[in-house]
Amino acid sequence: MTPATALLRAIETCWGPPDGAGDTPLRVDGVRVGRIRVSAGLPETVWIHTINVEERYRGQGVGSRLMRELGDLADASGCALALEAFHRPDRADGGLPGFYGRSGFSPDQGPNADGYLEMTRPPRPALDPEEYQEPDQRRIVLDLIAGMAVFNADLPLTAALRPYRNLYAPEYAYPAVVLTDLFAEKPGEGAGSAYMAELSRRCDAAGLTLYTDAQDDRSREFYLARGFERTTGRRDHQLVHWAPQPNEEDPSP
């Protein structure tokens, strides 16, 4: 079995078989969020013809999470990934080439006559499972944020999460997330409670601390009733939900 064949099988096992048009569904926590079309370009390379995330899931880290998962499958198969992306020197973030560059892709050469860059991501060496590896807190935080964006896409509310940033330490050095916004379209119907229950469960399972700021008495009571505690901070109403300590006898979340 070639690396390309192994990767195509791994993609089907992870996300499901392709449909009649050749598109494989992309899923986050079992929810279909987009599609991808791939083929074996060479024995050691899989070509990405199309990758698309539904509009309502964009801009919240879902695409980055999917690319990390695809990269993990490619690394485990020892297979390279290749694609084309339209060159956008006018954009500060680099457009799609910039996005793929942050996912490990590099341009093979300058843009062609149509303005497209051909980009390749070589497989990374597999980690030795016997070596102790510190948990990747940055990835844990970003994957949780992306997963919650998919969870609340159908809820009648607006919610915003961001990684905790410590002014005195490197970014993502502390395993925590901050809930910056939570607004229900129809207060009192349980959407906010459902969101907070799932967010708390996922933070606890991942060992993450959750911060928020209550701007008035009503919101403060809402959070205090859901496991938050008052904490000292630069804002009078800063609250924190502490993740439980891991149980050494039972390592499962």
pLDDT digits (tens, 9 = 90+) for 42-65: 899 999 999 999 999 998 899 999
Low-confidence ranges of the chain (pLDDT < 50): 172, 234-236, 246-253
| pLDDT value for 253 | 33
| pLDDT value for 112 | 78
The domain segmentation of the chain, as residue ranges, is 3-121, 137-241
| pLDDT value for 24 | 96
| pLDDT value for 234 | 43
| pLDDT value for 81 | 96
CATH topology of domain 137-241: Aminopeptidase (3.40.630)
* Pick among 3.40.630.30, 2.40.70.10, 3.40.50.2300, 3.90.70.10: CATH of 3-121: 3.40.630.30
- Same CATH fold assignment for domains 3-121 and 137-241: yes
Q: List CB contacts of 134: < 8 A, sequence separation 6 or more.
A: none
| pLDDT value for 77 | 95
| pLDDT value for 249 | 42
| pLDDT value for 9 | 96
- Rounded Cα distance, 204 and 140, in Å: 12
| pLDDT value for 18 | 92
